[in-house]
Structure 1
Amino acid sequence: MPKAFICGCAGLVLDAEERAFLRREDPWGLILFKRNVADRDQVRALTRLFRECVGRPNAPVLIDQEGGRVQRMAPPHWRAYPAAAAIEAGLGPSRAEAAARLVARLIAFDLAEVGITVDCAPVLDVAEPETHAAIGSRAFSSQPERVAAMGRAVAEGLFAGGVAPVVKHMPGHGRARADSHHELPVVDAAWDALKRDFAPFAALNDLPMAMSAHVLYTAIDKRHPATASSIVVAKVMRGEIGFDGLILSDDVSMKALKGPYEERAAAIIDAGLDIVLHCNGELDQARAVAFAAPQLSGSSLRRAEAALASISGPQPFDVEQGVRQLAAITAELGVA
């Protein structure tokens, strides 16, 4: 069985040392970033070689392709897509949902074409006036019901294109006033207030995968961020939200987390998350994560298998017509 972690890689190709690591440690999946992306042929070759190394043709390859400023695959080789907030703010509710579904369907086409089967989207964080710029326009709305509706539309569009979604950042990053890439955000809101942030995740709790937030919620666990908190995982993610899908950590190399990488990974697994995500491609760190990550088994294996089973062949789609519709939408929104 594969191990309960996902890793990144350093560049555009897998070097000999990385290939040996993948063969030996067998991570569940690979995640790509801009440093790993040049053009279609290169990405296609990279995803193919990863799957050859781990010996699993359906091994997931992930990417963050949201639209707006979070697009790892960008022009000139791929289309630019509008940000979540721009779609919601610029169109009426039903048109916004249709536009979000279309954008996600086109993104899925781009990803599936090069062997990427999982998109770390949609963002279900509820926006506030003081939401940190790390989330910013990635959030659809300040209204939980609109976040849920738009998130559902994105998930439907991705599924239709043969790509599985990952909702993030559970149980909610909108109240954070710091960037978890650089420090640990602390949220002091009371439980009743936090229920507003949980609501979009609860509405989409039937989806196959979620990503945790590196955020400390003092009303729930005063010591541990959600990613490493057995209390948050059991009481909120599995309990209040009712999510029984596969839960990935956010990137274990972010500065919100402290300590050696082996300890970080062990704490995430001990808290009850299913998969440790390590993104930066630093092989020594990845080795430490791999050492702490167990083989997938039990409920985590069941969830991982269900997540893979949710990925099916794309439904019929007129890409050229979709591109024309996208052009009309972006012109109306006044975005490039």
Structure 2
Amino acid sequence: MPLAAILGCAGPDLTAAERDFFRSADPLGFILFARNLVDPDQVRRLCADLRASIGRADAPILIDQEGGRVARLRPPHWRHPPAAERFGLLAAADRARAAQAVRVNHALMAAELRDIGLNVDCAPMVDVRAPGAHDIIGDRAFGTDPYLVADLGRAAAEGLLSGGVMPVIKHIPGHGRSMVDSHHDLPRVETDFDTLAETDFVPFRALNDIPWAMTAHIVYSAIDPMQPATLSPTVIAEVIRGEIGFAGLLVSDDLSMKALRGGLDELAAASLAAGCDVVLHCNGDMAEMEQVVRGARPLSPAGEARYEQGQRRLNPEPDQDRAEMLDELSSLLA
């Protein structure tokens, strides 16, 4: 059974030390960032080398390709997709047209990712933007209406699945009210449970059948005043698995973010004990990854079943004309 962890690497080429480490650790998969991306041929080689290091040709390799500010693939080698907010603004005039634009955009993104060896996109972000909140969400959100966010999030996830790429809904159970950036500090949301259930939880509840979700490093004082969702058995059992009804593979957000305090081995163990199926560590620092591996454990039988069930949702042989999709998207956005 692979380790219940997804890890990064330091640069555009896999080093001998990284190859040996990954072979020994056997993580479920990997995640790439801008530091790992030079051009299409190089990314294909890196993806092949990462998979070869653990001996699994179909291992998940993730990327954050939302569009707008959060797009690891950018010109000149790749298209720069629009931010989610653009589709939300289009929906104000024509909701059906906006949903189709989202669907086509994400099917096109899937084709672009598969072309270079990537098969998981950490998108769509279905957090509901709250007025006055920190701009870490901002235009990454489809909007402030939870039902609109749910509709466009569904279109995005379906577009990715149709293109053979796994979507990851984030940041469950909702990041839109955060007043600080969880990359730098631990946000606390003081909103009462009923309000959260009627707003922030709505898109996640509507998309609870999507195969993968990523947790929020946020304390929800009405649910667990001590631990952020990623480390909270209460939030995961009672809200994510309970109130929201998410039944898929639950992945932590990046354990190296400053919202979390403690050793990475302790954080990995606590996240898995709380109910996450897989932990995520992104920065590619070898010493940090060694700590994560010490604290992690093999993927549980339940996690394996969730992973395999999700794989069956992917379109195995997408037949898509990227030029046609690009023309359709341009027309829809015009």
Q: Normalising by structure 1, what TM-score?
A: 0.96
8 Å Cα contact 1:168-1:210 kept in structure 2: yes
Q: How does 1:313-324 map to 2 (within 5 A)?
A: 313-324=316-327
Aligned to 1:46: 46
How far does residue 194 in structure 1 lie from its aligned partner after superposition? 0.7
Secondary structure of 1:199's counterpart equals helix
Tell me, yes or no, if structure 1 residue 234 matches structure 2 residue 237.
Answer: yes
Tell me, yes or no, if structure 1 residue 260 matches structure 2 residue 263.
Answer: yes
| Aligned equivalents of 2:257, 2:332: Cα separation in 1 | 35
8 Å Cα contact 2:102-2:152 kept in structure 1: yes
Runs of 4 or more consecutive aligned structure 1 residues displaced over 6 Å after TM superposition: none
How far does residue 88 in structure 1 lie from its aligned partner after superposition? 1.3
| Aligned equivalents of 1:17, 1:309: Cα separation in 2 | 34
| Aligned equivalents of 1:291, 1:308: Cα separation in 2 | 28
Secondary structure of 1:112's counterpart equals helix
Moved more, 294-303 or 218-227: 294-303
Q: Normalising by structure 2, what TM-score?
A: 0.97
| Aligned equivalents of 1:308, 1:286: Cα separation in 2 | 26
| Aligned equivalents of 1:284, 1:308: Cα separation in 2 | 32
8 Å Cα contact 1:184-1:214 kept in structure 2: yes
Secondary structure of 2:200's counterpart equals helix
Aligned to 1:79: 79
Secondary structure of 1:166's counterpart equals strand
Aligned to 2:181: 179
Q: How many residues align?
A: 331
| Aligned equivalents of 1:175, 1:301: Cα separation in 2 | 32
Q: 2:250 aligns with which of 234, 240, 247?
A: 247
| Aligned equivalents of 1:310, 1:282: Cα separation in 2 | 33
Tell me, yes or no, if structure 1 residue 209 matches structure 2 residue 173.
Answer: no
Q: Aligned AA for 2:298? A: Q
Q: Residues 50-86 of structure 1: CA distance to partner in whole angstroms, max 9, x if unpaired?
A: 1111011111000010111111011010111111011
Q: Give RMSD over aligned pairs.
A: 1.0
Aligned to 1:26: 26
Unpaired segments of 5 or more residues in structure 2?
A: none
Aligned to 2:55: 55
Q: How does 1:277-296 map to 2 (within 5 A)?
A: 277-296=280-299
8 Å Cα contact 1:22-1:53 kept in structure 2: yes
Moved more, 84-93 or 174-183: 84-93
Q: Residues 187-238 of structure 1: CA distance to partner in whole angstroms, max 9, x if unpaired?
A: 0000001111111001011110000000000000011000000000000000
8 Å Cα contact 1:88-1:140 kept in structure 2: yes
Secondary structure of 1:310's counterpart equals coil
| Aligned equivalents of 2:66, 2:180: Cα separation in 1 | 21
How far does residue 315 in structure 1 lie from its aligned partner after superposition? 2.8
8 Å Cα contact 2:162-2:314 kept in structure 1: no
| Aligned equivalents of 1:313, 1:39: Cα separation in 2 | 25
Aligned to 2:156: 154
| Aligned equivalents of 1:316, 1:40: Cα separation in 2 | 20
How far does residue 329 in structure 1 lie from its aligned partner after superposition? 4.5
Q: Residues 89-110 of structure 1: CA distance to partner in whole angstroms, max 9, x if unpaired?
A: 0342111100000110110011
Moved more, 10-19 or 85-94: 85-94
| Aligned equivalents of 1:229, 1:146: Cα separation in 2 | 29
Aligned to 1:305: 308
8 Å Cα contact 1:227-1:268 kept in structure 2: yes
Q: How does 1:85-100 map to 2 (within 5 A)?
A: 85-91=85-91, 92-100=94-102
How far does residue 160 in structure 1 lie from its aligned partner after superposition? 1.1
| Aligned equivalents of 2:77, 2:241: Cα separation in 1 | 40
